[in-house]
Structure 1
Amino acid sequence: MPATDLPLLIDAVRMAGRVATSFVGKSAKRWDKPDGAGPVTEADLAVNDLLQQVLLRSRPDYGWLSEETEDGTVRLGHDRVFIVDPIDGTRSFTEGANTWAHAIAVAEHGEVTAAVVYLPLRNLLYTASRGGGAQLNGVPIMASGNDTLSKSSILAAKPVMAGTVWREGVCPPFTPAYRPSLAYRLGLVAQAKFDAMLTLRPSWEWDIAAGALIVAEAGGTVTNQRGAPLRFNSADPRLDGVVAGGNAIHTAVMDALA
């Protein structure tokens, strides 16, 4: 249950941070996944092994979905499942940057109930439990109250700027920004550093699950690009894009999208 899962996730993610930072990003062994799925390093696998051991030892009746574990159908038979990205932003990790994150969530019957996003090199720990609010390093956070798209700052990649994405055929005049980790983008939205984040590409559940609850518990709104609520632990663990932000700016973005 959320009240007991969150302390477990916090302890586990801090252990993950110690493991990941024991590797030197630029010198960590790296290889590319098949089918252009991106890079993976020995640090990703070490963190995955640690988290799988620690979390499933404590919750043996939970399922498991992780970017670095071969997926199957077993998790679909579990009421609750861990959804894990051992290192979100692996390219940043290999470059020696500090914007990569660990992301862990628990989903129960498709809804996230507890979540952590941790950036060990920036000392940022975002946490949330369903109905318990969202915190950054133990301090409550709230999403933006901005309601004007032209005065907003939105985390998005360059393809989102294309005119074909928007109803009027041109990108609205918001201020764009970018961070490589989707989990970190969601954390920044939850603490109102940015008004919203937007990705229209199919997004893996492990990139989004933890941050989605953190934004929601910070008083924001998170949906797919068509405005539908997000569901997790699906047979195909991909989401149809993500739009997240303060309630008013989320509405503004959805109204402006083509």
Structure 2
Amino acid sequence: MPETDLTLLREAAEEAGKIALRYWKNAPEAWDKGDGAGPVSEADLAVNAMLEDALRTARPDYGWLSEESVDDPARLGADYCFIIDPIDGTRAYLQGDGGFAHALAVTKAGRVVAGVVHMPALGMTYSAVLDGPAMLNGMQITTNTRAEIAGAEVLTSKLSDNPSQWKRGVPGYQRHFRSSLAWRLCLVAEGQFDATISMRPAWEWDTAAASLIAERAGLYTTDREGRPLRFNAPMPQANGLIVANPALHAAFLDELAVLPG
């Protein structure tokens, strides 16, 4: 059941946080994965090993998809699947910034049914199940209702300032950045920002847990062409990302250029 899985995810995320904080600001060994995949550290791998052991022991029939594990195609035949980012925001983590997260989700038939985004350095845990509210530290959160892009506070990267990404030039939003994509979705879910968009392909482990939290807070979560996000796909990646309340989401969808996925 999603509620039982949520408890499992929350407890595992808290243990992950203990491991991450032991390495944090203690110069963990780190290296670049290459091919534009960014950095990884010994802390990422330690957290991943603990999570895989704990979660797969508890649910041996669930599939497994993690940024730091070799992909096992057997997950595609599983009724349920864990989708995990052991440390989302590794760059921030290695810089001593507390804006990193553990993102843990359970999916069924392509939909997220339970999700947790835990931020141990900041003392924050976002969570949701499919038929429940979005929560932050046990309190319900909801998004805001801004409908216009002009003046909107948007979490995104510098690539969004490239006119080629837009049909009619770059709209007049205010751009902000956070290293953890999962946290970006959660910040919009709690109304701290108006939207988050990504022009780059979005990996499932970055978005799975937080997408459910965002949806339960009242947001639309789609790729940049408006297609709903589906999870545990053979290629676990979406063509960009738009996360906003329904009116603002429609405004972004109308302005974004359609590019090959």
Q: TM-score normalised to the size of structure 1?
A: 0.97
Instruction: Measure, in 2, the Cα distance between the counterparts of 1:26 and 1:205.
Output: 29
Shift of 1:51: 0.5
Checking the alignment, whether the CA contact within 8 Å between 2:64 and 2:72 is kept in structure 1 is no
4+ residue runs over 6 A deviation: none
Checking the alignment, whether the CA contact within 8 Å between 2:186 and 2:210 is kept in structure 1 is yes
The residue number in structure 2 matching 1:172 is 171
1:57-94 per-position Cα deviation (integer Å, ceiling 9, x unaligned):
11111000000001121111101100000000111111
Checking the alignment, whether the CA contact within 8 Å between 2:88 and 2:181 is kept in structure 1 is yes
Query: Unaligned regions of 5+ residues in structure 2, if any?
Result: none
Please report the RMSD computed on the Cα atoms of aligned residues, expressed in angstroms: 1.0
Task: Look up the SS of the partner of 2:227 in the other structure.
Answer: coil
Checking the alignment, whether the CA contact within 8 Å between 1:156 and 1:198 is kept in structure 2 is yes
Letter in 2 for 1:10: R
Checking the alignment, whether the CA contact within 8 Å between 2:188 and 2:195 is kept in structure 1 is yes
Task: Look up the SS of the partner of 2:22 in the other structure.
Answer: coil
1:85-106 per-position Cα deviation (integer Å, ceiling 9, x unaligned):
0000111111111111110000
Shift of 1:39: 1.1
- Structure 1 stretch displaced more, 4-13 or 19-28: 19-28
Residues 1:118 and 2:111 are matched in the alignment = no
The residue number in structure 2 matching 1:24 is 24
Instruction: Measure, in 1, the Cα distance between the counterparts of 2:151 and 2:161.
Output: 16
Shift of 1:25: 3.6
The residue number in structure 1 matching 2:237 is 238
The residue number in structure 2 matching 1:201 is 200
Checking the alignment, whether the CA contact within 8 Å between 1:26 and 1:94 is kept in structure 2 is no
- Structure 1 stretch displaced more, 124-133 or 18-27: 18-27
The residue number in structure 2 matching 1:4 is 4
Instruction: Measure, in 2, the Cα distance between the counterparts of 1:145 and 1:220.
Output: 10
Shift of 1:36: 3.4
Shift of 1:34: 3.7
Shift of 1:176: 1.1
Letter in 2 for 1:42: E
Checking the alignment, whether the CA contact within 8 Å between 1:26 and 1:93 is kept in structure 2 is no
The residue number in structure 2 matching 1:229 is 228
Q: TM-score normalised to the size of structure 2?
A: 0.96
- Structure 1 stretch displaced more, 19-28 or 213-222: 19-28
Checking the alignment, whether the CA contact within 8 Å between 1:150 and 1:172 is kept in structure 2 is yes
Letter in 1 for 2:135: Q
Instruction: Measure, in 2, the Cα distance between the counterparts of 1:32 and 1:236.
Output: 22
Residues 1:37 and 2:37 are matched in the alignment = yes
Checking the alignment, whether the CA contact within 8 Å between 1:118 and 1:125 is kept in structure 2 is yes
Shift of 1:35: 2.7
Instruction: Measure, in 1, the Cα distance between the counterparts of 2:115 and 2:47.
Output: 17
Instruction: Measure, in 1, the Cα distance between the counterparts of 2:172 and 2:36.
Output: 33
Instruction: Measure, in 2, the Cα distance between the counterparts of 1:179 and 1:48.
Output: 22
The residue number in structure 2 matching 1:210 is 209
Letter in 1 for 2:22: S
The 5 Å alignment of 1:134-149 reads 134-149=134-149
Checking the alignment, whether the CA contact within 8 Å between 2:117 and 2:183 is kept in structure 1 is yes
Residues 1:190 and 2:189 are matched in the alignment = yes
